[in-house]
Amino acid sequence: MKETHTQLRHRQIQGILQAEGTYLSFSAIYGYLKQKGLVEPYARRPSPWEAPRYEVWQKNLMWGCDWTKLRIGDLRWYLLTVIDFFSRLIVAFDIVPTVNASHVKQIYRKGLLAQGILPSQRKPELRVDQGSPNASWVTKEFF
C-alpha cells in the first residue's frame, strides 16, 4: 500500500487496513515499513506561539485545578486536585461525589491553608478549564 500511496504514514495505513478488516498495530506497520526503507523523516509543525503564555519562577504564583472521574464500587466519584505549576506539588486534593463551584472554592481554600498563605497575602493565580463549575458566577465572584 505504501508503494501506491507514498504520502501515507504508518498510522494512516493502519486505519485503512483496519477498515478493510486487517488488524495490525501501528508499531507493527512502522517496523515493517522501516525494514523496507519506506519511512520518511517526519517534521513536526511549529509551535503556534513564539513565547510561553506565562512564566512561573517560584512556588505559589500559579496553580492549576482539575478533576477526573473515579469508579469506586458501583459509584462514580471525582478526584479534585490543585497543583502548583512551579514545583508540580499537589497542593490539595479531595474526592467528592459531584463537582460544583463550592467544591472548587473549598479545594482552593484547602490549598491556601496547606501552604500557609494568609488571607492578607497575595494568593496564587488559579488556572482552570472552562467547565461549568469553573465558569459559574459563584466561582468567578470568589476569585
**By three-state DSSP, how is residue 65 classified?**
strand
**Amino acid 37: pLDDT:** 86
Residue 63 has a CB neighbour count (10 Å cut-off) of: 27
Strand pairing report for 62-72 and 75-84: antiparallel
Q: Which class is 62-135 in CATH?
A: alpha beta
Average pLDDT over residues 63-77: 92
Length of the chain in residues, anyone? 143
Predicted TM-score (pTM) of this structure: 0.60
Q: For residue range 86-120, what is the model confidence (pLDDT) as tens digits?
A: 999 999 999 999 988 888 889 999 999 999 999 89
Please determine, for residue 70, whether its predicted confidence score (pLDDT) is greater than 90.
yes
Rounded Cα–Cα distance for residues 104 and 128 (Å): 10
Domain boundaries, the chain: 1-42, 62-135
Mean pLDDT of the chain: 85
**Amino acid 98: pLDDT:** 92
Q: Binning pLDDT at 50, 70 and 90, where does residue 71 land?
A: very high
**Amino acid 106: pLDDT:** 92
* Contact call for residues 126 and 132 (beta carbons, < 8 A): no
Average pLDDT over residues 11-33: 88
